[in-house]
Amino acid sequence: MGVFDTIKDRRSIRTYKDERIPKDKLEKLLEAARLAPSAGNRQNWKFIVVENEQIKNQLVTASNNQVFVGTASHVIAGIGDFAQKWHQVDLSIALEHIVLEAVELGLGTCWIGAFNEEEVKKYSRYRRTKKSSLY
């Protein structure tokens, strides 16, 4: 598929199959973000991949009760560095790289712009453990 076709095929998907995304596909999504340009090539961002059901359900509430957030097999949250002047632009570019790669891989995505930032920040403090599926 060409780039223009990928752009044309991108849609906001709010109904997901009850399937897990294979690890190799998740790694491709994150690699797409790594390849994204950023100011000074700083890449001052982090991505948290959430597959823990309890945390996803809490993210539904934090996302203004957008129920479909909790039905996705994975949620990828991007965290920018507020100390960097262009953090919002840089992070947006990286996230859109993820979205376009998802189209290539046959995965559905939806940008979440309406959310309670302070509530979502609570979950970024989790650390990866054997019992947690939060990366």
Look up residue 83 and give its amino acid. A
Give per-residue pLDDT as tens, 3-40: 999 999 999 999 999 999 999 999 999 999 999 999 99
Residue 114 confidence (pLDDT): 93
In this predicted structure, what is the pLDDT of residue 125? 60
In words, the CATH class of domain 3-123 is alpha beta
Place of tokens 């960097």: 84
Element (H, E) at 61: helix 53-62
Q: C-alpha angle with apex 81: 74 to 32, nearest 5 degrees?
A: 45
Write the pLDDT tens digit of every residue in 55-95: 999 999 999 999 999 999 999 999 999 899 999 999 999 99
Q: Write down the domain spans for the chain.
A: 3-123
Per-residue pLDDT reduced to its tens digit, 92-133: 999 999 999 999 999 999 999 999 988 888 876 654 444 433
The pLDDT score that the predictor gives to residue 124 is: 66
User: 10 Å Cβ neighbour count for 9?
Assistant: 12
Give the residue with greater pLDDT, 135 vs 58.
58
The pTM (predicted TM-score) of the whole model is 0.88
